[in-house]
């Protein structure tokens, strides 16, 4: 068993400031000398980048369906052995989704810290807080009021809570964390990110006595099934740069546990696929923001075409698939030639084209994951298979096979079925 102060940072809806508050709280606790680990509830690539910058430690993913309760417990148990505080940022509203952030909190015995956007309310905050607590119910540890205008405003919010501790307040921000169509801008792209996080930590009016009243949570160790080294002796080349940055650390761990060596290359920098690679993975990212460079940088395209012609297994997910299509049309209407391994044309749009948890049935078991994209693919290549959406069971994303290339908008969570992952790369 391992124990730490653990809270799930949740809200009534998206847009309340969960990520900002979690980042501010993480940085404030680090500045107090605490060892802090942060997790993100639900599929997400971008928020964890910011939270890693805030806490100084890798950010894991917790999700009752995609990750599984046992694997969530394993991660928290490992983190509690190394941390004083664990913050888990929820997804959407506390009770949104099947399963929801509230389901995770109840299953793992984690108290909830509610973030309230107080910018357009005062005493009504208490009604929202008590509703969040009692609807499930969940164990509500306390509240952080975001976008508070003044000490008097904070006092009205505190009085409305009727015994629920107000852990702290954060004022309205002059400058918001920058966003684009998939969410927050990647932390590495934000100028002065450390200074911004320090400012947020300084602005967080934090009640140490209330925080110190938070109980510790004990997480039991759960046995972890060993992974057979099915990729022993193999090298997997992985694209990684500003265009291909959506990589779960857990997916890399699975590849190394399978016995694979990893070789990185950057298409944006003009790198070819490493010559000694036995397989290639192009993960998701923002190829649409770098279409000009990708279109005019030939080394990565030429080397991928050669690898494809040689029968080297290539896995391309979402942004990776977009870069391997025949062309990519961005939001300005400009069309850019891409690598052309998958015949077809990708077109960006302002409307969301796919979102939510999905699963792919394989000969080795169910591979779980999710989808989130603002583009569409028009191709004559027939779908090899389709994912199914969770929990509806409705048909989801197409999975395409073109020679040795496997491509889809589907983002796979490799730990859900390592044997299926090994098969994709062989």
Active site residues: 318
Q: Look at residue 110 in the predicted model and tell me its pLDDT.
A: 97
State how far Cα 48 lies from the chain centre: 6
In tens, the pLDDT along 344-379 reads 999 999 999 999 999 999 999 999 999 999 999 999
Q: Look at residue 116 in the predicted model and tell me its pLDDT.
A: 97
Q: Look at residue 219 in the predicted model and tell me its pLDDT.
A: 92
pLDDT, average across residues 145-160:
97
Q: Does residue 186 contact residue 49 with C-beta atoms inside 8 Å? A: yes
pLDDT, average across residues 123-127:
97
Output the average pLDDT for the chain: 95
Euclidean distance between CA atoms 417 and 361, whole angstroms: 10
Return phi, psi of residue 274, to 5°: -55, 135
Euclidean distance between CA atoms 134 and 351, whole angstroms: 35
Return phi, psi of residue 339, to 5°: -70, -25
Which residues on adjacent β-strands are paired with residue 335? Answer: 329
Asked whether the predicted pLDDT for residue 7 surpasses 80, the reply is yes
Q: Does residue 87 contact residue 25 with C-beta atoms inside 8 Å? A: yes
Torsional class of 306: left (φ above 0), alpha (ψ -120 to 50), beta (otherwise): alpha
Question: What is the chain's length?
Answer: 426
Q: How many CB atoms lie under 10 A from the CB of residue 267?
A: 27
In tens, the pLDDT along 235-291 reads 999 999 999 999 999 999 999 999 999 999 999 999 999 999 999 999 999 999 999
In tens, the pLDDT along 98-116 reads 999 999 999 999 999 999 9
Q: What's the CA dihedral at 365, 369, 375, 378 to 10 degrees? A: 0
pLDDT, average across residues 385-396:
97
Q: Look at residue 223 in the predicted model and tell me its pLDDT.
A: 86
Q: Look at residue 82 in the predicted model and tell me its pLDDT.
A: 93
Euclidean distance between CA atoms 330 and 123, whole angstroms: 46
Euclidean distance between CA atoms 51 and 57, whole angstroms: 8
Q: Which residue has the higher pLDDT, 185 or 33?
A: 33
**Residues ≥6 apart with Cβ < 8 Å to 98:** 65, 390, 391
Return phi, psi of residue 328, to 5°: -135, 120
Domains (range + CATH), the chain:
2-219 (3.40.50.300), 235-424 (3.40.50.880)
SS3 of the chain:
CEEEEEEEEEECCCCCCHHHHHHHHHHHHHHCCCCEEEEEECCCCHHHHHHHHHHCCCCEEECHHHHHHHHHHHHHHHHHCCCCEEEEECCCCCCCCCCCHHHHHHHHCCCEEEEEECCCCCCHHHHHHHHHHHHCCCCEEEEEEEEECCHHHHHHHHHHCCCCCEEEEEECCCCCCCEECCEECCHHHCCCHHHHHHHHHHHCEECHHHHHCCCCEEECCCCCCCCCCCCCCCEEEEECECCECECCHHHHHHHHHCCCEEEEECCCCCCCCCCCCCEEEECECCHHHHHHHHHHCHHHHHHHHHHHHCCCCEEEECHHHHHHEEEEECCCCCEEECCCCEEEEEEECCCCCEEEEEEEEECCEEEEEEEEECEEEECCCCEEEEEEECCCCCEEEEEEEECCEEEECCEECHHHCHHHHHHHCC
In tens, the pLDDT along 174-219 reads 766 666 555 556 656 667 789 999 999 999 999 999 998 999 999 9
Distances (CA, A) of 17 to 26, 27, 93, 147: 14, 15, 11, 9
Q: Does residue 111 contact residue 140 with C-beta atoms inside 8 Å? A: yes
Euclidean distance between CA atoms 38 and 318, whole angstroms: 26
Q: Does residue 43 contact residue 59 with C-beta atoms inside 8 Å? A: no
SS3 of 186-224:
CHHHCCCHHHHHHHHHHHCEECHHHHHCCCCEEECCCCC
Q: Which of 329-348 are b and which e, b meaning 16 or more Cβ less than 10 Å from the residue's Cβ?
A: bbeeeebbebbebbebebbb
Q: Does residue 5 contact residue 37 with C-beta atoms inside 8 Å? A: no
């Amino acid at each position: 068993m391992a124990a730490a102060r653990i809270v799930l940072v949740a809200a009534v809806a998206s847009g309340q400031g969960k990520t900002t508050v979690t980042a501010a709280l993480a940085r404030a606790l680090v500045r107090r000398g605490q060892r802090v680990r942060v997790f993100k509830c639900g599929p997400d690539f971008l928020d964890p980048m910011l939270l890693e910058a805030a806490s100084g430690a890798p950010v894991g993913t917790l999700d009752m369906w995609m990750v599984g309760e046992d694997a969530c417990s394993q991660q928290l148990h490992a983190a509690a052995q190394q941390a004083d505080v664990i913050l888990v940022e929820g997804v959407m509203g506390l009770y949104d989704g099947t399963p929801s952030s509230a389901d995770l909190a109840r299953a793992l015995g984690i108290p909830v810290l509610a973030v309230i956007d107080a910018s357009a309310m005062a005493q009504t905050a208490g009604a929202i807080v008590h509703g969040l607590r009692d609807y499930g119910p969940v164990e509500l540890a306390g509240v952080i009021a975001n976008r508070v205008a003044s000490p008097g405003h904070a006092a009205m919010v505190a009085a409305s809570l009727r015994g629920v501790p107000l852990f702290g307040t954060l004022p309205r921000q002059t400058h918001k964390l920058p966003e684009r169509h998939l969410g927050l801008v990647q932390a590495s792209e934000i100028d002065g990110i450390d200074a911004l996080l320090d400012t947020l930590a300084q602005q967080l009016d934090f009640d140490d006595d209330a925080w110190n009243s938070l109980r510790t949570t004990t997480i039991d160790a759960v046995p972890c099934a060993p992974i057979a080294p099915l990729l022993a002796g193999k090298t997997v080349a992985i694209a990684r740069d500003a265009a291909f940055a959506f990589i779960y650390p857990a997916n890399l761990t699975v590849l190394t546990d399978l016995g694979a060596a990893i070789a990185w290359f950057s298409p944006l920098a003009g790198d070819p696929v490493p010559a000694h690679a036995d397989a290639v993975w192009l993960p998701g990212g923002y190829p649409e923001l770098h279409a000009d460079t990708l279109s005019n940088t030939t080394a990565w395209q030429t080397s991928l075409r050669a690898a494809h012609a040689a029968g080297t297994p290539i896995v391309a997910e979402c942004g990776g698939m977009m870069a391997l299509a025949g062309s990519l049309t961005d939001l300005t209407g400009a069309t850019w030639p891409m690598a052309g391994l998958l015949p077809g044309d990708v077109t960006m749009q302002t409307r969301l084209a796919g979102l939510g948890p999905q699963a792919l049935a394989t000969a080795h078991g169910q591979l779980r994951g999710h989808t989130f994209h603002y583009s569409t693919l028009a191709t004559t290549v027939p779908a090899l298979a389709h994912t199914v959406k969770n929990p509806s069971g409705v048909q989801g994303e197409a999975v395409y096979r073109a020679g040795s290339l496997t491509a889809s908008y589907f983002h796979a969570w490799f730990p859900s079925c390592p044997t299926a992952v090994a098969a994709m790369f062989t």
